[in-house]
Structure 1
Amino acid sequence: MDKNELITYIPEPVHHRSEVREIAAIDLGSNSFHMIVARIVNGSIQILSRLKQKVQLAEGLDKNNVLSQEAIVRGVNCLALFAERLQGFKAENVNVVGTYTLRRAINKEEFLRQAKQVFPYPINIITGQTEAKTIYAGVSHTQPEMGRKFVIDIGGGSTEMIIGDDFTPIVAESRHMGCVSFAKKFFPHGIISPENFYQAKQSAADKIEDLAFEYRTLGWQSVLGSSGTIKTVYQVIASNIDPYGIITQERLSRLTEKVLQVKHFDGLRLSGLNEDRADVFVPGLAILTAVFENFGIQQMRYSDGALREGVIYSLEKNFQVKNIRQRTAFALAEQFNVDLKQAKRVQETALLLFEKVTHWHNYKYRNEIKDILLWASQLHEVGLVINHKGLQKHSAYILQNMELPGFNKEQQRLLSILVRYQINQLKTAELYKFPRYCEQDILSLIRLFRLAIILNKSRQATEPISQITLKFDRTLTQWKLQFNDNYLANNPLIKNELILERKLLQEVGLELTFQ
């Protein structure tokens, strides 16, 4: 990457703030109703609140697809609660979608009639394929994976399976199998048995068997799962097996062995399993296992973006950009009034230094960590809005705790770590352990970033570096910087900062020389 390509990281200065628009998205699911309230600021979405209520609409659907009055009342009461939060919202800023259970219910008009009495916004009951495509949009707008993705969403009444490239779905299917409907059919009265579990798994396999050839032929680069069932499996794996919750066939088998030792839903005691999901966890696990086996999935990562986020992003037409992180970073730079010229100077120096490093322990993530280094360069001063004193701590706190669409949890943590240790003491003992990134690579990245900050300390008065050499010993412990003639003599402030940096590095057993 050369300097001209930095345009993809640094936005042009914006001279005025765009109008703030508040929006809401509501997903009337078969198990729970969800509402997100957000606002659009500077081209990005900021989540203001999330509301969720377990309604179990699908439990009220009988064999003739008639929705019981009890289920209707539960749903209407929830919508009345949502309406309280939405007072003052215009209809065009609220998007409400009904999914599987409302699609199937032959008396859906009665539900809509009763809902209208307490909820003044239109409810759109969407097709299974529309639901699938909207889920795909929600995942694509919130996760960092680019290229071909396989997205799977197991809801209360249906399961959606979509393969797409970037933002564009190629195939999207919805099948009538969900954790609530399967709980009713295969686990009556909450009874767990090997026979019940394998009947549920086989039924799910039968429903998706015809998709296997087409999906496997299309292939995928990454697999992402969304919504309650997959979130719960992720949480249980994270609490018991792998702190990052990566879902694999072997881990699903281990969970299956555990749950089959229990005789009833009430007896499930798994770390990470919320009490309100106990009655749908086992049927959801059976469906997910069938999906893994049918498509030959090796591993899956959980996505916290799904149908609701897809509905949110459909309310604004200007969100579809190739790089989600770019959109997120641009919005943060505008929101926190970042000095874009200084950010660009730091980015250019960070990139120059990065390209001097020829050895990375985990080379396959080289481009990924370079991107994160450049985003850190853009956003390292967001903490100035709090106070210049402790800037690095304020900036790290903001970046660690904000929702950052396009960054997964590890990328967000690495971004925060870089910003946290941009100046002052480097406490290597406090660095997070990352299963994705090598500890030595993280340390090298931090050192590069600190040097980029030092070499631009004078901001607009900084003399551009025309020539710089960076050499290392075999252990990457000893670094040697060599500048063009008279550079340090002409920049005594930078020389003093390098002397201080050498002392700080010596405290943690690292060496820096320069001339």
Structure 2
Amino acid sequence: MDVGTNAVRLELARPDADGSLETLHQERDPIRPGEGVFTTGEMPPETADRLLSTLRRYAALCRRHKAQVRAVATSALREARNRQDIVRRVHEEAGLELEVVSGKEEARLICLGVLHRKPANARSLLIDIGGGSTEVAIATGERPDELWSLTLGSVRLTEVFDTSRAVTPKQLRLMRGFVNEVLHKTLPEELPALPRIALGSSGTIQAVAGYAVGENGGNANVRQLTQAVETLAAMPPERRRKRFDPRRADIIVSGAVILEGVARHLGVESVSVVNRGLRDGLLVDLLYRQDETRDDHSLADAALAIGQRFFFDEKHARQVARLSLALFDGLASLHQLPLSVRPHLEVAALLHDIGTAVSHERHHRHTYYLIHNADIPGLADRERELIARVARYHRRSQPELSHSGMAGLTPSEARRVRKLATLLRLANALDHSHHQPIREFKVTHGRDIVTLHLHARQPLDLELWNAEREVVAFRKVFGKRLAFQVHSVGR
């Protein structure tokens, strides 16, 4: 489910044996959830009621099909001051967990939907113009290399410049200037060599590009887009409504100005329209989350980028992550956690010390705050919250169920955080010196004991002293004693 600025959309699909998706049902309700949000800062009660009515119907359809659901909201709800009230109502009245995604996560999902099954080395440039924001992505295969979310949207620009009626030359000049200013502020001055043809994935782009090329079809070049902007701006509103769907007609000029500006700024020759987007990305993302054999390092890469921004000790972070994952894999029969949480442990391990950028004292608490508020594409809000909790417990207080830091978790979430944090604490202790003395690592199980075989290139006195302090907590969480055997290896 996609709660956008212009409309709410539902798509139900079934995965085929070859990994493709067969669409079973689609719906689109143009209830304009973002109407008024960008000028008042809130979603009006009547709009919220329309949204809830739509989502209740969608939820009933999903229950009928016994579907796995991911429901996201984008720009309009991101900026609405009353978004928490809306999310709460959706949970209570429709039984859905509505996730308000960041701009980068929106761009990642669009990218995944448009580029699904692209050849691994194919380079792509993607543009998506929504009602409240415009997403730009550079990708190799399905994987985004760069993601940007711009505060430019067809509804937003229409409300700010009042372009649903006649557009004067002065208004058009101001709109173009505003778009260029946002582009220069948000996109970097120097971009890598880009494909000459951009992929355009939204209904707005489809309408603008289709009008620009006319009956001839094909890709819309920049000259045609500029001509379309001039013609649409000069066109009386009545004629626009005859040419386009009435709700699309009100925002078409703003959409055309944005597309022209983005295409010029990126230096592309033309825009090619594709019929996939955010909904497709949500489905592919759900499909990939079920595939436990999929080797995807995008979350770890995103975590490393955040760590580098906070000048973390990368060698220590990578070592703690390596040891954490070795513990997770070696103790799988003991912790019985799903493989899907393994990347979450890796992110928590990579970022456990970033709080030192604020202050070394109580840095575990600063780490929690930084992860909780980070924009990590590929993570749902709740997943990011649980990762922040795991990282917060890498030192000091144990993740006891009675501790204040565990408040608000469901019983299953609390068990997950407790187990993952226990593994992270042990891994962190095994590199307490920050010198990565452990080269190899192996876990063996006895009847009531777990033994860690540590192959080290130097004495482990500091590591062992700290690891011994985790033995009691390990037994409390996992029900087994913990022992260490050290084996020396050459330098």
**C-alpha deviation, 1:261, in angstroms:** 2.5
Question: Corresponding residue for 2:29?
Answer: 53
The answer as to whether partners of 1:62 and 1:68 remain within 8 angstroms in 2 is no
Of 264, 276, 287 in structure 1, the residue corresponding to residue 247 of structure 2 is 276
One of 223, 230, 234 as aligned partner of 2:209: 234
Change (3 A) 1:296 1:145: farther
Quick one: which amino acid aligns to residue 229 of structure 2?
T
Counterpart pick for 2:230 among 257, 270, 280:
257
What is the rounded CA distance, in whole Å, between the counterparts of 1:47 and 1:232 in structure 2? Answer: 23
Equivalent of residue 159 in structure 1, options 118, 127, 134? 134
Q: Aligned ranges for residues 360-379 of structure 1 at < 5 Å?
A: none
Deviations 1:403-422 (A, max 9, x none): xxxxxxxxxxxxxxxxxxxx
SS of alignment partner, residue 59 of structure 1: coil
CA distance, structure 2, for counterparts of residue 280 and residue 180 of structure 1: 6
Asked whether the 8 Å contact 1:159–1:174 carries over to 2, the reply is yes
1:216 is paired with a residue whose SS is coil
Instruction: Report the equivalent of 1:15.
Output: none
Q: 1:157 is paired with a residue of what secondary structure?
A: coil
Counterpart of 1:288 in structure 2 is 259
Contact 2:90 2:97 in 1 (8 A): no
Change (3 A) 1:223 1:101: same
> Following the alignment from structure 1 to structure 2, what is the Cα–Cα distance between the partners of residues 314 and 307?
10
C-alpha distance in 2 between matches for 1:291 and 1:62: 21
CA change 1:270–1:57 in 2 (3 A) is: same
Identify unmatched segments of 5+ residues in structure 2. Answer: 296-491
SS of alignment partner, residue 216 of structure 2: coil
Distance 2:267 2:294 in 1: 31
Task: For 1:33 and 1:68, locate their aligned partners in 2 and report how far apart those are by CA, in whole Å.
Answer: 16
Answer yes or no: is the 8 Å Cα contact 1:143–1:305 preserved in 2. no
Structure 1 position 303, deviation (Å): 1.3
- Matches of 2:141 and 2:70, distance apart in 1: 24
Determine whether 1:194 maps to 2:165: no
Q: Deviations over 1:54-73 (max 9, x none)?
A: 12122131545222112211
Q: Is 2:41 the counterpart of 1:65?
A: yes
Which runs of structure 2 are paired with 1:21-170 in the superposition (5 Å)? 26-42=1-17, 43-61=19-37, 63-90=39-66, 93-141=68-116, 147-170=122-145
SS of structure 1 residue aligned to 2:114:
helix
Q: 1:250 to 1:145 in 2, by over 3 A?
A: farther
TM-score by length of 1: 0.53
Which residue type is aligned with residue 78 of structure 1? Answer: T
Amino acid of the structure 2 residue aligned with 1:307: L
Q: Deviations over 1:181-238 (max 9, x none)?
A: 1111112552322222222222111111145555633423541011121111233245
Give the partner amino acid of 1:243.
Answer: G
Task: Name the counterpart of 2:426.
Answer: none
- Number of the residue aligned with 1:324: none
For residues 113 and 213 of structure 1, do their structure 2 counterparts lie closer, same or farther at Cα, with a shift above 3 Å needed? closer
What amino acid is the match of 1:34?
R
Distance 1:189 1:276 in 2: 10
Task: Give the alignment of 1:495-514 within 5 angstroms.
Answer: none
Question: Structure 2: which amino acid aligns with 1:300?
Answer: V
Question: In the TM superposition, what is the alpha-carbon distance from 1:115 to its structure 2 partner?
Answer: 2.1
User: Residues of 2 paired with 1:304 and 1:107: CA distance?
Assistant: 32
SS at structure 1 position matched to 2:21? strand
Contact 1:159 1:177 in 2 (8 A): yes
Cα deviation for residue 41 of structure 1 reads: 1.9
TM value normalised by structure 2: 0.55
Name the SS of the counterpart of 1:233 in structure 2.
helix
Aligned-pair distance for 1:145?
A: 9.8
In structure 1, distance between residues paired with 2:196 and 2:121:
9
Identify if the C-alpha distance between structure 1 residues 146 and 118 changes in structure 2 by more than 3 Å, giving closer, same or farther. farther
Structure 2 vs 1, CA of residues 89 and 241 (structure 1 numbering), >3 Å: closer, same or farther?
Answer: closer
Spell out, residue by residue over 1:474-503, the C-alpha distance to the aligned partner (whole angstroms, 9 max, x if none). xxxxxxxxxxxxxxxxxxxxxxxxxxxxxx
Is the CA contact 1:163–1:215 (under 8 Å) kept in the aligned structure 2? Answer: no
Give 3-state SS (helix, strand or coil) of 2:195's partner. Answer: coil
Q: Return closer, same or farther for 1:208/1:157 CA change in 2, 3 Å cut-off.
A: same
CA separation of 1:145/1:263 partners in 2, compared to 1, >3 Å: closer, same or farther? Answer: farther
Matched position secondary structure for 1:162: strand
Check whether the contact 1:230–1:302 (CA below 8 A) recurs between aligned residues. yes
SS of the residue aligned with 1:67? coil
Aligned to 1:174: 149
Instruction: Tell whether the 8 Å contact from 1:35 to 1:52 is kept in structure 2 after alignment.
Output: yes
Instruction: State the match for 1:306 in structure 2.
Output: 277
Which residue type is aligned with residue 249 of structure 2? A
Q: Work out whether residues 127 and 200 of structure 2, in 8 Å CA contact, stay in contact via their aligned partners in 1.
A: yes
Following the alignment from structure 1 to structure 2, what is the Cα–Cα distance between the partners of residues 142 and 302? 17
1:138–1:320 Cα change, 3 Å: farther
CA distance in 2, matches of 1:168, 1:214: 23
Change (3 A) 1:118 1:146: farther
Alignment deviations for residues 77-114 of structure 1 (CA, whole Å, 9 cap, x no partner): 221221232233557x1111110111111111221232
1:419-442 CA-partner distances (Å, limit 9, x unpaired): xxxxxxxxxxxxxxxxxxxxxxxx
**Cα separation, 1, equivalents of 2:227 and 2:179:** 19
CA–CA separation in structure 2 for the residues paired with 1:212 and 1:218: 14
What are the superposed Cα offsets for residues 306-357 of structure 1, whole Å, 9 maximum, x if unpaired?
1111100001124989xxxxxxxxxxxxxxxxxxxxxxxxxxxxxxxxxxxx
SS in 1 for 2:14: strand
Residues 66 and 259 from structure 1, CA distance in 2 versus in 1: closer, same or farther, beyond 3 angstroms?
same
Q: Contact 1:31–1:54 at 8 Å: present in 2 too?
A: yes
Aligned counterparts of 1:174 and 1:69: Cα–Cα separation in 2: 27
- 3-state SS in 1 of match to 2:64: coil
8 Å CA contact retained: 2:209, 2:225: no
Change over 3 Å in CA distance of 1:305–1:199 after alignment to 2: same
From the superposition, tell whether residues 175 and 121 of structure 1 become closer, same or farther in structure 2 (CA, over 3 Å).
same
- Which residue of the partner structure matches residue 183 of structure 1? 158
| Cα gap change, 1:77 to 1:191, in 2 (>3 Å) | farther
